[in-house]
């Protein structure tokens, strides 16, 4: 709760029923359905699924033994729920678009600190749309969409670098970046209304850029991540599918169609790939998360 407020009760959930390897993840606190319109998703070192649910104004932290929610709105420190990320200590970073801040909670959901408040009226972020953490180097990346910028901070919140913006800082230009991921010494950014992917090294040298073949501006609710081989995956609301791109930017495959059965999607809004190449896809309209075990993509032959 924010200072000056206090909790009057603590509703603790019962054990979660989850078949993590059975394609579809269904969670419940007792008899209560958990997900209303799941958006962003990640996992931590304990294998817990952490899901932001802006429609419910909550972040769900789900495991088999002790699930809980971090609640937003009202008198809570967290005013709204956006993108999420987890550091190597399992601290949970939550973008708070309404406050223009990143709120940080420990692995048990206790408020830890806030990032982005420069003064009583001024904030560091305008529109923190995407979050990513380089867990090995403990660096936080924030896609500030309306400023066409990505900020790099240390885990305590000190700004180390800016990329993009009106001055094209770090020699980089973005067009409304909405999703990003940082893995395998690469920074991958989705911008231009979901129409373009740019790949950089950790010094912002452009390695690759390519079109996603989506209509620019169609939707910002698109998920992005990389597997262990460096292949890029993109969830696609327009065609209710997940697309895969190899290292050259060539679309190597896609799966899924509109529907509610296993392997089908309704409004897939985000995705996450864990260290074991399990692909988590959140679906707003089906109110669920599906999990798939990825097989490595075949490399593109060199000619």
pLDDT in tens, the chain (303 residues): 555 544 443 333 322 223 333 344 444 444 456 789 999 999 999 999 999 999 999 999 988 788 899 999 988 989 999 999 999 999 999 999 999 999 999 999 999 999 998 766 678 999 999 999 999 999 999 999 999 999 999 999 999 999 999 999 999 999 999 999 999 999 999 999 889 999 999 999 999 999 987 766 556 678 999 999 999 999 987 778 899 999 899 999 889 999 999 889 999 999 999 999 999 999 999 999 999 998 765 555 555
Interior angle at CA 54, CA 267 and CA 52, nearest 5: 85
- Residue 15 in domain: no
Whole-prediction pTM value?
A: 0.87
263-282 core/surface letters (b: 16 or more CB in 10 A; e: else) = ebbebbbbbbbbeeebbbbb
Cα–Cα distance measured from residue 80 to residue 95, given in angstroms and rounded to the nearest whole number:
8
Q: Which domain holds residue 57?
A: 24-293
- Domain tally, the chain: 1
Residue 117 neighbours by CB under 8 Å, 6+ apart = 101, 123, 124
Cα–Cα distance measured from residue 161 to residue 221, given in angstroms and rounded to the nearest whole number:
26
- Residue 138 in domain: yes
pLDDT of residue 213: 79
User: Phi and psi for 251 in degrees, rounded to 5?
Assistant: -70, 115
- Residue 185 in domain: yes
- Residue 5 in domain: no
- Residue 17 in domain: no
- Residue 299 in domain: no
Report, in angstroms and rounded to the nearest whole number, the Rg of the chain calculated over CA atoms: 18
pLDDT of residue 31: 43
CB 7, CB 1: distance < 8 Å = yes
Cα–Cα distance measured from residue 255 to residue 235, given in angstroms and rounded to the nearest whole number:
10
pLDDT tens-digit profile of 185-240? 999 999 998 899 999 999 999 999 999 877 665 566 789 999 999 999 999 877 78
- Residue 301 in domain: no
Q: Give Cα separations from 141 to 137, 163, 173 (angstroms).
A: 12, 10, 16
- Residue 268 in domain: yes
CATH number at residue 47: 2.120.10.30
7 burial class (0-12, 13-18, 19+ CB within 10 angstroms)? exposed
| Helix (H/G/I), strand (E/B), else coil: 146 | helix
């Amino acid at each position: 709760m924010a200072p000056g407020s206090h909790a009057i009760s603590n509703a603790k959930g019962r054990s979660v029923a989850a078949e993590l390897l059975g394609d579809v993840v269904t969670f419940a606190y007792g008899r209560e359905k958990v997900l209303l319109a799941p958006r962003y998703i990640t996992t931590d070192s304990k294998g817990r699924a952490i899901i932001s649910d802006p429609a419910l104004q909550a972040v769900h932290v789900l495991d088999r033994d002790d699930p809980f929610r971090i609640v937003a709105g009202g008198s809570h420190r967290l005013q709204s729920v956006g993108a999420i990320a987890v550091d190597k200590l399992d601290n949970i970073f939550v973008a708070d678009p309404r406050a223009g801040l990143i709120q940080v909670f420990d692995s048990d959901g206790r408020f830890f600190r806030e990032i982005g408040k420069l003064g009583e009226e001024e904030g560091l972020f305008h529109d923190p749309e995407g979050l990513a953490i380089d867990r090995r180097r403990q660096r936080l990346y924030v896609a500030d969409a309306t400023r066409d910028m990505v900020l790099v901070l240390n885990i305590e919140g000190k700004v180390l670098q800016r990329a993009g913006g009106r001055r094209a800082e770090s020699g980089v230009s973005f067009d409304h970046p909405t999703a990003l991921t940082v893995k395998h010494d690469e920074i991958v950014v989705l911008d231009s209304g979901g129409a373009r992917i740019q790949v950089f090294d950790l010094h912002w040298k452009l390695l690759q850029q390519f079109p996603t073949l989506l209509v620019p501006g169609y939707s910002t609710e698109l998920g992005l991540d990389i597997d262990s081989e460096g292949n890029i995956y993109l969830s696609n609301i327009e065609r209710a599918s997940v697309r895969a791109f190899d290292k050259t930017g060539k679309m190597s495959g896609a799966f899924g169609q509109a529907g509610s059965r296993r392997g089908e999607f309704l409004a897939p809004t985000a995705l996450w790939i864990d260290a074991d190449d399990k692909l988590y896809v959140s679906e707003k309209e089906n109110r669920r998360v599906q999990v798939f075990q990825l097989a490595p993509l075949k490399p593109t032959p060199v000619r």
